[in-house]
Amino acid sequence: MKRILFAGFLICAFALVAAAQSTSGVTGTVTDPQGARVVGATVTLTDTKTSKELTTTTDDDGVYRFVQVPPGEGYKITVTNQGFQTLVLSNITLGVGLTETHDVQLTAGNVAETVEVVDQGGATLNTTDASIGNVIDERRLKELPIQVRSSPAALIGLQPGVVGSNVGAGGGNRAGSVTGSRADQGNITIDGIDANDQATGQFAATVGNAPIDAIQEFRAVSTNPDSDEGRSSGGQVELVTKSGTNEFHGNVREYNRTAKTAANSFFNNRSGTARPQLTRNQFGGSIGGPIMKDKLFFFFDLEARRDAQGISYTRTVPLDHFRNGSLGFHNGVSGCATNARLTTSPGCITILTPAQVAALDPRGTGGNAALLAFINSRYPRANNLNAGDGINTGGFTFNAPSRRKDETYTNRYDWNVNDKQKVFGRWNIARRTQTDTVNSVAAQFPGDPETSQIIVQDYAWAVGHTWVASPTIINQATVGVSRSGLLFPTDFE
């Protein structure tokens, strides 16, 4: 019974992986100088960063294959066969979710002699499936602008057939739509585990976060995804976290942006409102290296962000005559438009004095003194006469303070158990506290407290095991959890 339960667990775990592979592969054909296929040649794939090796032989068609290989750069292919010089193809990069093709032609000679070919390091033409998408490697990810450093998933918006995420008001499900699908129909995986935000349905939202400096590679598929990509009809985003290597690597970073590099808005300038405050700091660091050389590796990354900025709002407030108990109305003069305003057509508006308002009141009291006192104490004076109805109300434009505080922790361990087995574990913790300007406003009027917050308490983990049972049989099982935690308290503590 225990064996049956264990087998069932392995099947379920394998099914989870089959839904979203975040691995790579390499294949190719080995030929002699005349172009004939070389059968039985020994092909070794070496990860020069960790000294991990995989070995296979070419089949009856002279073809070799390596599947379920961790993506990344720094791979080397070594081909040997009796009667031919050893050929070494170095500087190979394997893109996530792709099977790269590297054909090899051997040269007749002594096997002790070596011919080394240095690859350009880029992705090869995808000839194994019909999917259309791009792989963005670690270097290009690091060169991203500051606005998208917190997560690379939104980069799918740069792919062909994708509607940009900033389509303006009324965009709805068009914002982030991939080849006609709804924006919330994208599929995001990190190390093969689902990381989709199922609660809010936002475009490219990632549970647990995935900071740029913690990602080894990124691939976005906009068209013709394979059956193993996932359960969504939209774009497919595959992210793979970094691993440690036999050498220690790390970085310390900070990105700063202030209001000095931003222009004021048209409406702020029109109302005489100052440029909103803006101070954004994104900072952090990472370190990775060996715990046991060639065997056990670690990687850790911290990504943090601090924002202090102003958000421009325009509120409808009473005009000065209304604050004093007077009342304006359209006087119905011939030729006056129904949308006439005091600033554009003063002759079309009649202002009743407080005494005239009281005369129209059956009780003769006119404006309520308590209400007028509240209006004058609560509402600021209009500074934007183009807002409101232009008769009794105008607009007040101001900058409300907004804050944000983020921390994302990413940790990963890789263990080369032996030549045939490899285990990895990864966890993420994402914490964020920010002023809620999505569902509410930063403040109703200057000096008011913030109305509400958004608090994120996400975490995610994944554990995977790869077993090369034979040159033609590989089993990979990955299990994990991605939990989204959202809170909306109304007060800061």
Mean pLDDT by 10 residues, the chain (493 residues): 46 42 85 92 92 91 90 90 91 84 90 78 59 68 67 74 55 65 80 84 80 85 66 79 92 89 83 86 94 95 93 94 92 86 89 91 86 94 91 94 94 92 94 90 89 91 91 86 88 51
Residue corresponding to tokens 């068609």: 61
Nearest alpha-carbon partner for 429 in 214, 238, 244: 214
Strand extents, DSSP E, 36-165: 42-47, 52-57, 63-69, 72-80, 86-94, 99-101, 104-105, 114-118, 132-136
CA dihedral in degrees (167, 440, 263, 258; nearest 10)? -110
| Amino acid residing at 207 | V
Would the CA dihedral through 446, 450, 451, 456 be positive or negative?
A: positive
Tokens linked to 97: 């979710």
Assign 247 to helix, strand or coil. coil
Q: What is the pLDDT of residue 188?
A: 86
Nearest alpha-carbon partner for 225 in 238, 209, 214: 238
**Beta strand pairing call for 86-94 and 72-80:** antiparallel
Q: How many H helices and E strands in the chain? A: 6, 24
Tell me how far CA of residue 367 lies from CA of 30, 364, 380, in angstroms. 94, 9, 19
Q: What is the pLDDT of residue 167?
A: 41
**Neighbouring residues of 374: CB distance < 8 A, sequence distance ≥ 6:** none
Q: Give me the half-sphere count of Cα atoms (radius 13 Å) on the Cβ side of residue 171.
A: 16
3-state class percentages of the chain: helix first, strand second, coil last, to nearest 5: 15, 45, 40
Task: Compute the distance between CA of residue 191 and CA of residue 214 in angstroms, rounded to an integer.
Answer: 12
Q: CB–CB of 475/469 below 8 Å?
A: yes
Burial class (CB in 10 A: 0-12, 13-18, 19+), 265: middle
Task: Compute the distance between CA of residue 244 and CA of residue 297 in angstroms, rounded to an integer.
Answer: 5
Burial class (CB in 10 A: 0-12, 13-18, 19+), 493: exposed
| Amino acid residing at 180 | G
Strand extents, DSSP E, 207-295: 215-223, 236-241, 249-258, 278-292
Question: Quick one: which H or E segment has residue 190?
Answer: strand 187-190
Q: CB–CB of 351/390 below 8 Å?
A: no
Q: Give me the half-sphere count of Cα atoms (radius 13 Å) on the Cβ side of residue 165.
A: 15
Q: CB–CB of 163/234 below 8 Å?
A: no
Question: Quick one: which H or E segment has residue 181?
Answer: none
**Neighbouring residues of 477: CB distance < 8 A, sequence distance ≥ 6:** 10, 13, 14, 16, 17, 464, 465
Straight-line distance from the first to the last Cα atom of the chain, in angstroms, rounded to the nearest whole number? 54
Q: Give me the half-sphere count of Cα atoms (radius 13 Å) on the Cβ side of residue 31.
A: 9
